[in-house]
Structure formats: structure tokens, C-alpha cells
Structure 1
Amino acid sequence: MATTDKPLKVLVVGGGIGGLMAATVLRHQGHDITIFERTQLAQETSAAVHIAPNAYGLLKRFGLVPEDIGANPVKGVTEWDVHGNIKADIDTSRGAGLWQHPWVLTHRVGLHTALQDLATGAKGPNKPAILKTGCRVMQVDAEAGTITFEDGTTASGDLIIGADGVSSVTRKVVAGEHIKPRGSGKSAFRFLVPHDKIRAVPEAEPFTRREGIMNLWIGGNRRLIMYPCNRNTMMNFVAIHPSEESSAKGEDWSRGGSKDALLATYKDFPPAVQALLSLVDGESVKAWTLFDMERIKNWYNGKAVLLGDAAHPFLPHQGQGAGVAMEDAVALSALLPLGVTPEDIPERLALYQKLRDERAHRIQEISRMMGEDMDEEARKNFDMFKFTAYNYGHDEWHNSTAALRKLLATRNGPVHMRLPVSFGPMISPRQNPYLSNPSDPSSSPPPPKVTTTTVRFKTSATYLRGLLPNNTDFSFAAPGSVAQASFITIELDNLAWLGGTGYNVFGLYVHGVKYQKPGVPGPPTVGTFLPVLFESAADPITTGREELGMPKVFADVVVTRDGSSVRTVCSWRGHKFVDVSASGLQPFDPSAVPPPAAAPLAVNGHPAGGPPGAGGPPNGASSSAGPNEKLLVYRYVPAVGTPGEADAEYPVVIENGMAVGPRDIKTALRSGEASVAFDKGAWKSLPTLHHIAERLAELPIYGIIEAKVEEGTGVAAFDKVSRLG
């Protein structure tokens, strides 16, 4: 197996349907599994099992098509009273289109054998599970992950799965010694009769004229169910009755029963039923006590976890016992993909309990209700189809894998949900890109490469006020008609969240902006305001808009270098509307050398002019924006269906938002020379950006403060973001 992930060592206590299903799925996941079964797995011949749509899909997913082992589709259900009258005749094939998979009935031995082969056979993915029979578990140490057998030997693993049925030993250390199964007051005879033998009886003709029919007789406090299995060659019988009328004394499927007791129990049923029961081979009759149990509070403890009847013994009135056990097995296994560590197990078991507790116990409660001895009126008001829809309309593999995905997305901080939300969290600069496997060794990739080109200049404060969201909450921190702004180009590469690729960014940053809500006490928030940010990739645009409220729009942002010059051109479908160049760049130490004095700047090829005093900082305002300076943006979410109105609009502050350069600077260049050219274009050439390009072309530039280029690694996390006002 070509992987560096270490498999878990899993011990499965119990080799029944639930235990074998868990071993099958865990084998697919790549783990090392050993199954310990107390019996010798002797072939029992007198029981069949329901495989409803919710279980059928799980079996098929892992390589077992029930029809291949002789399963019969259920085509209808006919209910009879004790006088032989039909009370209901339901064509189940009419609802087949509702469910992805069919409802079938199969012999328990065939299902068990097929699951055993899937788990332990030579065919199949990864290492086969090991099955050890005749291993009676006497004690389970949940904390140590150790089980002790009757002969005193032990086995240890990373996880112990208690699939050991109603009389579970594992349950004692998980749910407590006080949680024990109890008799429900009912027992069941069970046996098989060859279908040909039934067809030979004239009285049975109403029950054999149609194939695939489940026949049900209900009389007072007893009922009889008959349905086909083994490719319609055998009829399975379950005869439920008060326990005191039979010799059932335990939960074991294979306890002997009495044909005389069977006939006596159903002596008041119609002659046709008597004829059916007379066909029974007395040696094959088994008696089975129907056990129930209170709801457990804990499904796991330490390294031990329960599934199937060990967690929730089912009464058979919906035929969901085996199906829900398979759901448990699939849920638990789905939460343990290869790569999960022993340290992860408690978290996964907690999620398993959360996923399974409500559903399993709800079906358990419905089964109790369906087994009650109802009068005629109560039966009319009982909506069986509502419960059937709940049972059948579920796929536990899909349910559990979706839940695991959500869990993994939260392991590295809060989940960032963005449209479309139907598929869960989407990776972004602030979301772990390895959602499916956070333990992937590549989840610590090399730091991204960053090159930042900044052209800082002086301009009209009055003009810039027109770009602020409003003039009541926003203003400049310093008085005067001159303010500072910057054009900043950011080249990003080797971004893990974009699969190692990158993109380019160009924005206008207005420095020295103050935000304070009138009448709200406290100091103002002062920082750099970002009115627009052009980006060359769609994914960062959506993440920045939705997670940060940034005013991002698309443009092709192309950066070229020629000796000591760096040029940034922004265009849309070939139409250039911004062209910014920094020239005469020379190396410098950004930590030791102060920025140069302002110098003239060329705008659209002509020398720039400005008001008196344009050569110095505006009225004492800071001449540089440090990396710890706050970034202010304004979030606006338009109202759906109401043009011109907003669902939400408010200012946002990003702490350390001006840390746009590399965290680890490798090289730094600086000059006092730059040129800027704008082309406002027209609505036809820039249909979505003309309103922005036109305003930028009007931007007066009074003088350069600094042009610099910083190259290195590491980007700002932008993780400290909050709403203002």
C-alpha cells in the first residue's frame, strides 16, 4: 500500500452482521482488523433478514449486491385478521421510485457468509481482516485498549469495537454495569418452510399466487409474519407472542423451540394458518426472546465503542435491527479514514455518538410502537408510511462523510463559510486547504513568495473625501487639503490554498483616514482606507469580498521588469486603464534608511503640479504607513430583489491590514521616480469598470513620497477582522 499513513489496530468483539460490516469498511479504509467471535460460526438455517433501502445501498457500496446472494424484492404487504379477512393489501412497488435502492429479504446465513468474505477474503482492497472464532471475551479495559479472553490471553489495539450483541461484555465498560437488556414480554418462534411445500397445500393458495409478498396476520397480542427468501425458494416465519406461551428463555437466535407450543399459541388463527404451521419441521423451530433496553447515555468510553444490538437492541417490528447495525458500522468506519491517529479517536467517537444516537434510538422507539397490541381504531390512526420514509430516506455513508468534512474544517480555527454554502466550507487564505486530511504532511508547505511594489504620493484630500463612504463617520485624521495615498502592487506565488499557484493585486490605499460614529464614545479608529482593489483571479476576489468585506474587482494585473524599473498594467479584456511604473530603483535596507523627500511625479506623461507646500507631509501627517497600521474597508451587501437597497453595509477594520509586503524581506529596492498613466476608456471598452477608471483618471497627484519594491516570503493572515460602528 503506497502510503505513509499508519493504519489503526482495531479489535472487533463480535462476528455478527454489525461486526463484519465494520470490518469490511475498515478494511476499505486500510486499517488492521482482528475479529473475535465467541462461537464457531455454526451455520444457522432458520432465519431471514430485512435489507431495507437504507441498508441495501451500504452493502452495494462495499461490494455486495443482495440479489447475488438470493435476496427477494418485497413487492407487496398483505395484512390479514384472525378470521382470514384481508385488512390491507399494499403494493410496495408503487413507491419504489422514491428510494434509490430496493427493499429486499434474504437468508441471514447468506448475508453473514457474504460479509465474512468481504471482510476476510483474499479478494478486496488492502489487508484482509483476521477472524478468530471460539474467543470468548471476559473483560474489556477501555482505557488501555485491551481485551481479556476466557483462557487468560489478551489482545490490545488502538480501538475496541463492541459488536457483541444483546449480551455485550463491552457495554459494561462503556454504558455501565446497570444498563442491561430486559425481556419485552414477547418472544418469537422462527423457522423456514420450503416454498414448494407450501404451494402443495390448497389452503395456502392465497399466499402463493403472487411472488414477493409479505403476509402478516395480527390477532390480539400475537402476530405471524411470513415472507420469501433464498430466491423465493424458502418462506421465513416469525411468530411473535407472549413469552409465557413458549419455551423461549434467552436472546440467542439458535435456542430450541417447540412445535406443539407453536401450534397451541396460534390455535385461534384461521385454518389456512393452521395448515401452514402444520408444515413446520419441529426440529427446526427456534424460540427467541425479544429483548429491549433503556437508552444508553454513552456509546464510547476511552478506546471502546459500541454498535448494533450492544448499543440498542431492536424489537423486530420494522425489520431494521440488522440495517441500523450496518449503519452504525459504516458511520464509525467512515469517521476513521487512513491517516487518523490514535489521538484523534476520542474526537471521532464523540462525533459518531452524535450522528447515531438520535437516529438509532428513534427507530428503536418506532419499533416499540409498531409492536404494541393496538385496537382497530389505533391501528387506523398509525401512520406507518411516515416512519418508513424516515427509515428508508437515509444514506449513512453520505451523512457521516459530510459530518467528518465539517469536523475537519474546524480543526484549524473557525470555519469560513462562503457562497455556495451547500457544499460546506471552501478553502481560502484564512481556511486550511487540507480540509479532507489535516494530517497530510504537505499541510505545512513552503511559505508563499511575495513581491510588493509601492508608489506613495501626495494628492488632494478633497478629492479623496469623495471616495470615502460618507463624510459624517469618515474623515482625515489631520487637517489640510493635501493627503497621502499609495498605489500598491502585490505579486503572490506558491500559495498553498491555490494549489501552489498565485495571482496579482493592485490597489489604491488612502492613508490617514479616521472613522468615528457620531455620538459614540471612545477613541476613533485611524488607518488606511482601501476604496478599490483589482485582482487577477476570481477565487481571492470572492474570499476577500465575503470574508473581509474588501472592495475587490477583477482586472488583468500584469507586472514586468526592465533593469531597475518595475511596471504594473491593469486591463480588462485588452483595454489598459492603469499604467504605473517605478524606475531608478536601488537596493536599500528597509529597517535602517528613512524614506526620501517627495519628488515630482509624472502623470499621463506630464510633470505634476500641486498646491503650495506640496513638497512636504500634509500638515504633520505621517509620511509612511507601517506594517502595523490598520486597514479600513466598507462592506456593502445588496438586497436581493430590491435594487438600490442593502441587506447590510458597515465599515470593517483589519488589524495589521497594511502588512501587505513580505514578512521575511529578502531584497528591497527604492527610488523617488515613478510615472502614472490612466485611461478612463468608455462604457463599451470597460463596461463593468468604467465608473472606477473614470474616477481614477481624475485623481490629482501632487508629488511622490516614495517608490519601493520588497521581495520575500510570507503573507499577512488578515485574521484579526472586526465590524465597526
Structure 2
Amino acid sequence: MERVREEPACRPLKVLIVGAGIGGLTAALGLRKQGHEVAIFERSELAQETGAALHLASNSHGILRRLGIYPETFGANPVHGLLEFDYTGSLRTDVDLQASLKQWQNLWVLSHRVRLHEALKDAATAKQGTGKPALLRTSSRIIGVDPAKATVRLEDGTEFSGDLVIGADGVGSVTRKLIAPDMKPFGSGKSAFRFMIPHDTMRSNPLTKDLADRKGYMTFWYANDRRVVMYPCNNNAVMNCLAIYPSQLSKNVASTSGNDWDQHSSKQLLLDLFNDFDPRVQVLLGMTEEKTLKSWTLLDMERLPRWVEGQLVLLGDAAHPFLPYQGQGAGIAIEDAASLSALLPAGTPVEDLPSRLALYEKLRDERAHRVQEYTRMSGSDLNDQKRNSFNVMEFVNYNLGHDEYHNSEHALKKLLWSRNSLNISWRLPLAFGPMQSPRQDLLGRIQSPDLDATTKTHSIRFKTSATYLKNWFPTSAFSFASPGTVAEATFRCVELQNLKWLGRWGYNYWGLWIHGVKYTCRDGAELFGSFLPVLFENEADPIVTGREDLGMPKLFCDIDVGQEENGDTSIDCSWRRNSFVTMELGGLEERTGEPSGPPSSITDDNLLLYRYIPAVGEPGKTDAEYPVIVDHEKSRDTCVVTRRMTATRAKVEFRADDATMNALPTIGSVVAGLAGVPVYSVLEACTTEAKGLTTFSHARKIE
């Protein structure tokens, strides 16, 4: 595995957004907050955004709040209930939804489109706020886009270049033609009138007063092939109304180009098409002002074969025009914007855009078109066979129970993890992905050398009994390299400080190294090193990573190192204040004239380990057990000795009486075993200080 070099921080992406609708502005705000440079090109003057209301269900409302947009501050009111009638006025459903909607994190609110649009525009372009303000250019009709160069050309010939172009230019999208030139929206067979009526006007008539008084209620009247829908906005002060009917019943509807979806229409035509509906509907329709009455063809489109071409990507209605039957058109566009923002965080390299955009397409194509299919089913006529299989709760749960920012953020992590799948060391808990360790970062790359870390090692190397220690070898493949009953071992304590991987904190470890050990492989090859039967550490993180990543036999204890003014050092290991071993080094004398480099007391040879993982619920059985070797030469490269001192006095003293053993319920057997190690004579006692950190990144399974 190649060592990762420190790379300079990636520059912000330059993002060009075509279209300043709800989706385009949400994307602009999200990408601005990620630190990117954003320019928005809008063909209109934005002088009069469409005057209608829209649904902000939990899935989109939560995204807006994450971006700092709070719909209740500009008049959005929560959904409280649902009323359904047949076209004659007979009640079918009257349900209070307030209790059931509490299961969703964010309220389902009803907002005036203009007010949401203004809030998004102000947040994206304001001088205050996170990131550089987005540049909004109105009256800027795009006549050309180069997906390969991320360039847009305006009608006046001006060109702008960036790293990414987002086509958020609606159902009549120009950018879509560059990705799927043969895909065009088509009439769904239905058209709609839309209009808004003040609640005060409705309250002035006894037939409609009760409807206006029920705050937060969505009301529906259904005939077989047409329907009237109304719901409040602007703090329950205005009722947004929609009257849907078969397009063939009128020629006075907009074209299917998608560019004139809000053309003015005839009030008389509206009254004629719904003349057999409930008298309350007749009164309601009569309240509309003809000059504000709009009509348009409800457009649909086949599923696009792809959303991305080069450095051009589609968003919102440009990728998936929505019918209005579930109120999710704006919500899914907001989700698209959230997905792009999550997949393109600060530091995204330009060269990584193709894989990020491919992931965006995969995530959003599946969800958007499933919601579209539910929407088509919801809008089918009452006698349509498809409607019989329509499960309302299924689509409500799917629509509302989703957070696209979290979904995309996690998908990006999985993408980055997959690139290093052979190198990443996973450990429990798996739900959160790989965790950083001393040996690798979150993406599985070997940590860069930690040259600022410091190491102080206290060692007592001694002669001892080979016959005593060989009983600790886990298999017969382990043996001493030399015959005889005398072996060498070292009690060693290491103080580590200023560790990058541990937030510049440190920890201590203490253990026993058995030298001169040989491992004989099944093919007869021989490996030599020091065997480590146990290692105590005083921090949980290195214990967990060492046990799971390397198979090291690590246990916890407190390790206190004290030093007198004359340099004498005392090391005490304890568990719950019950001391079980003390190691002392005194009369330290500094050595001079030796070459700088890692001394034998830090990494004197290869390290031999034995990994053992017990099977859950099956005592005595294992899920895995095998020998491990840590290559000395590959592990020594960053540790440089700065000072080396030899002790003239050295002592290791265990407390292994019954009282001590009883006070060590989990490690007593280990301490008793260590206390039995005989010390025939001390060969060397020293303290060594070093800069940098000896790593164990090159540990490998032997066989």
C-alpha cells in the first residue's frame, strides 16, 4: 500500500446553474455553503414568480431547515387534516392528521411558492452567511452549453466557464436536449386551472365559511375523471385551489412545450367544466378573478436514459417533470439539490466529478421515478384499474420517511471506502464505517509519518528461563531459535505523546518481549523475531485498534510514570488502584558518540504475534486464529533517537499475593504468570528518547 502524501487543499468548484427556480436556488444555496463558487443564469427577470402554493412535506422541509430556511417565518402553515368529498358533496373522509404526522421529524407545511422562492434567493445571494454569495444573472437566456468544457453561452454571445453545469431549467429544459435530445415532455391527458382565494372572501359566504375556518386542512372533491383540490397557505389566510380535468374537454390550455404553463384562462370555461359539482364548489369557483386565473396542461415524460453528460447534470423538472397529485414536484427537486450538495463537499477534486455525478444519477433516478410512479397512480381516474392497487400509506411512508442529504452523504462515504476496499480495516461498530487508527485514515490510506510525535522508552533486558517462557507459545510452530534453557526477554514501558491520530494526546504501554523466537511455516520457511505474549495499555482506542487490526494481545491497566530530579524513573502498573508491578531505573548516564537511529530497545527485530478470535456462543472454538509478523525494517522509518541513557540500577517487582490477585478479577491470571518469570541477570537497562513514531502498518498474516 502506497504511503499517502500530503496534498494541497482542493480549490472550490466553479458551478454554473441554469435556472433560478426552487431547485436551482436550493442547489445554489447548498453548494455555496459547501464553499463553492456559484453563478445562476435565469432567462426571466424574476419580477413576478408564479403565484401559487406548494407542499413542503417532511422530506423537503428538513432539507430547507438544514440550509437555514424556515418556512414558518414566511407564512407556511402546517397540515392539520384532510377532507374528502365525492363530486356531489357527500363526505368520504374527515381525518385529523396532527397526531399521525408527528412521527416525522419535520412538519408537513403548505407554503406560498413566491415566498419560498424569495427566501431561497435571498439566502443564496446575500453577503452574510457561509461561503461566497452566489451570483444571480437574470434576463440571461442560455442558447448553448458545452458539457465537455462546462461552458454556457448566453443569447448576447457572452460565455462563462466553470467546472460543472447544473441544468435546473424546468420542464421545458434546454440543457436536457444535450443529454437526451429525443426525450420530450408530453401531455398526460389532464389539464388544470389554478387560482387563489382569500379566506376572508370564503368566510363571507355561508356555503364556504366552514371550509375556510378549518385551518390547515386539505380538501378534495372527486369525480371519476376530474377533481378539485384546495389547501391553505400564508398563515391560513389564502386558499390555493386546483381544478383538474381531461384536456380533451377544452382547447383553451397551454402547449406541451412547458414554456407557457401559466397562461390566463376563461372563468366561464372553469364553471362549465365543473357545473355538476357540489354547490360549495360552484360558489368557490365563482369567487376567482378571471384576470388571475391560470391554466396549463399537466405534462409527463418518459424516464431519461441518463442525467449526466460530461460536466453537465440535470436537476428537478429538467430531469423528471412531476404531475401535481402528491405535491412532491418541488420536494423532489429540493432533494436533488441536497444530493448534489452532499456529494460535492468542500475539497471535492475536479477530477472526481465524473464518479460523484454518476453516483448522484444512481441515487436520484431510482427515488425520483418511484415517487413519480406513485404520483401517476394517485392521479388516475377513479375507475382506472391501477387505482385499485394504490396503497396510500405505502407512498406516504416512502415519500416522507427519507432524508436525501444523509442518504447521499453516506453513499459518498461508501464510494470513497470502496476505492480502498482492500486496504480498509473494518472493526465494530460497523454501522459507522471504518474508523481512524494509528495505521490508516478513514479512507484506508496509511497515515502520513507523524514526525511531531515523541517516544520515551524504558527497558530492562534480562536473562530468564526458556523452559518457563516456551509454555506461552500458542502453537508448536513457535520455538526458541537457539537450544538451551536460557532465553532473553525485555520488560518495556513506552510513553507516547503528541500523536496526530489521537488528537495530539498520548498514552503509555507496558509489556514483555521474548527474544530469539522462531516461527516455522508449513512450507518449512523460518521467520525470526520477538514474541509478544501480553501488552498493557492505558487508553481504550489503541487497545481496540491494536487487538482488531493487528491481533495484538492487549489488555487495559493504568500506567503511571514518575521521574525524580536526578532522572531516576519509577513505573507503576495498576488496575482500579491495585498496583501489581513496579519497574525502576536509577543512576541514568547519558551515552554519547553513538550513531543516530532507532535503538534496539525500540524496534530491535521483527515482532511475532498470534491472533485469536473466539466464536460467539461456542466456548473453546474460534472464528479465526493465525500467526502475525510485524516487519522491523518497514516499521522503523520515522523514529529518530534524540537521547539515550543507561541505568546503573534496575528492578522489576511484582505483587502477586492472594489479596492482589483477588483485586485483579480480569487480569489476575496474566499478572500471576508474569510474576513467575525468573530474572537471572540484567543485561541492559536504559531510557531512550526519540522523535517520530514507530508504526505497525506493515503487520501481515503469516499463514
TM-score range relative to shorter protein: 0.7 to 0.9
Q: SS of the residue aligned with 1:97? A: helix
5 Å matches for 1:362-377? 362-375=370-383
Q: Is residue 458 of structure 1 aligned with residue 435 of structure 2? A: no
Aligned with 2:623 (options 648, 652, 659): 648
- Percentage of identical aligned residues: 48
Matches within 5 A, 1:228-307: 228-246=232-250, 247-250=253-256, 251-252=258-259, 253-307=261-315
3-state SS of 2:197 partner: strand
In structure 1, what residue type is equivalent to 2:535? L
Q: 1:57 and 1:444, CA in 2 relative to 1: closer, same or farther beyond 3 A? A: farther
Moved more, 693-702 or 204-213: 204-213
How far residue 136 of structure 1 moved from its aligned partner, in angstroms, is 0.7
Per-residue deviation, residues 678-711 of structure 1 (Å, max 9, x unmatched): 3325124444432222111111234455555554
Equivalent residue, structure 2, for 1:632: 609
Report whether the alignment pairs 1:698 with 2:679: no
2:171 corresponds in structure 1 to 166
Structure 1 position 644, deviation (Å): 4.2
C-alpha change, 1:372 and 1:46, in structure 2 (3 Å) is same
Which whole-Å CA distance do the structure 2 matches of 1:230 and 1:509 have between them? 75
Provide the residue aligned with 1:601 in structure 2.
none
Partner of 2:4: none
Pick from 427, 434, 442 the counterpart of residue 436 of structure 2.
427
> Given that residues 585 and 647 in structure 2 are in contact (C-alpha distance below 8 angstroms), is that contact kept between their aligned partners in structure 1?
no
1:631-662 deviation per Cα after TM superposition (whole angstroms, max 9, x unaligned): 222323463xx484556341241331687767
Aligned-partner SS, 1:275:
helix
User: Conserved in 2, the CA contact under 8 Å of 1:457 and 1:703?
Assistant: yes
Q: Name the residue aligned to 1:570.
A: 573
Of 32, 53, 60, which residue of structure 1 is paired with 2:65?
60
Consecutive unaligned residues in structure 1, runs of 5 or more: 596-623
Deviation at 1:379, TM superposition (A): 4.6
Instruction: Tell me by how many angstroms 1:405 deviates.
Output: 5.2
Tell me the CA shift for residue 311 of structure 1: 1.9
Instruction: Tell me the distance in 1 between the aligned counterparts of 2:49 and 2:502.
Output: 57
Judge conservation of contact 1:493–1:503 (CA < 8 Å) in 2: yes
Matches within 5 A, 1:173-252: 173=178, 175-204=179-208, 207-246=211-250, 247-250=253-256, 251-252=258-259
Compute the TM-score of the two structures, normalised by the length of structure 1.
0.84
Which aligned pairs between 1:467-616 and structure 2 lie closer than 5 A? 467-469=472-474, 471-515=475-519, 523=525, 526-559=528-561, 568-572=571-575, 573=577, 575-579=579-583, 581=585, 586-587=591-592, 589=594
Contact 2:71 2:111 in 1 (8 A): yes
**Cα gap change, 1:273/1:234 in structure 2, threshold over 3 Å: closer, same or farther?**
same
Bigger mean CA deviation after superposition, 357-366 or 476-485: 476-485
Residue 264 of structure 2: SS of its match in structure 1? coil
What is the alpha-carbon distance in structure 1 between the residues aligned to residue 593 and residue 655 of structure 2?
A: 33
Q: Deviations over 1:24-62 (max 9, x none)?
A: 223333333221101111324542111111222222233
Shift, 1:291, TM fit: 2.2
Change (3 A) 1:443 1:328: farther
1:79 Cα offset (Å): 1.9
Q: Which amino acid aligns with 1:47?
A: A
CA–CA distance in structure 2, aligned partners of residues 386 and 652 of structure 1: 53
**Structure 2: any 5+ residue segments left out of the alignment?**
1-7
Once the 2 structures are TM-superposed, how far is the Cα of residue 160 of structure 1 from its aligned partner?
Answer: 1.8
The answer on whether the counterparts of 2:598 and 2:640 sit within 8 Å (CA) in structure 1 is no
CA contact (8 A) 2:598 2:636 kept: no
Q: CA deviation at 1:531?
A: 1.0
Q: Distance in 2 between matches of 1:132 and 1:380?
A: 48
Worse-superposed segment, 190-199 or 568-577: 568-577
The partner residue of 2:397 within 389, 392, 412 is 389
Q: Name the SS of the counterpart of 1:317 in structure 2.
A: coil
1:103 aligns with 2:108: yes
Q: Which amino acid aligns with 2:608?
A: L
Residue 618 of structure 1 is matched in structure 2 by none
1:320, CA displacement in angstroms?
0.7
Offset at residue 145 of structure 1 (A): 1.7
Q: 1:284–1:266: structure 2 CA closer, same or farther, 3 Å change rule?
A: same
* Cα gap change, 1:443 to 1:159, in 2 (>3 Å): farther
CA RMSD of aligned residues (A): 3.6
Report the Cα distance in structure 2 between the residues aligned to 1:407 and 1:378, rounded to whole angstroms: 38
Partner residue in 1 for 2:16: 11
DSSP 3-state at the match of 2:284: helix
**CA distance in structure 2 between the partners assigned to 1:515 and 1:443 by the alignment:** 31
Distance (whole Å) between structure 2 residues aligned to residue 644 and residue 445 of structure 1: 41
For 2:5, the equivalent position in structure 1 comes to none
For 1:316, what is the secondary structure of its paired residue?
coil
Query: What is the identity, as a one-letter code, of the residue corresponding to 2:678?
Result: P
Higher alpha-carbon deviation: 18-27 or 335-344: 335-344
Task: Give secondary structure in 1 for the equivalent of 2:98.
Answer: helix
Q: Secondary structure at the match of 2:674?
A: helix
1:239 counterpart SS class? strand
1:677 corresponds, among 653, 658, 661, to 653
Relative to 1, partners in 2 of residues 1:458 and 1:135: Cα closer, same or farther, differing over 3 Å? Answer: same
Does the Cα contact within 8 Å between 1:203 and 1:275 map onto a contact in 2?
Answer: yes
* Whole-angstrom CA distance in 1 between matches of 2:653 and 2:108: 72
- Note the C-alpha offset of 1:541: 1.1
Does structure 2 retain, via aligned residues, the 8 Å contact 1:511–1:625?
no
Alignment of 1:30 with 2:35, yes or no, is: yes
With the length of structure 2 as denominator, give the TM-score of the two structures. Answer: 0.87
Comparing 239-248 with 382-391, greater Cα deviation is found at 239-248
Deviation at 1:205, TM superposition (A): 5.0
User: Is the Cα–Cα contact under 8 Å of residues 564 and 586 in structure 1 kept in the other structure?
Assistant: no
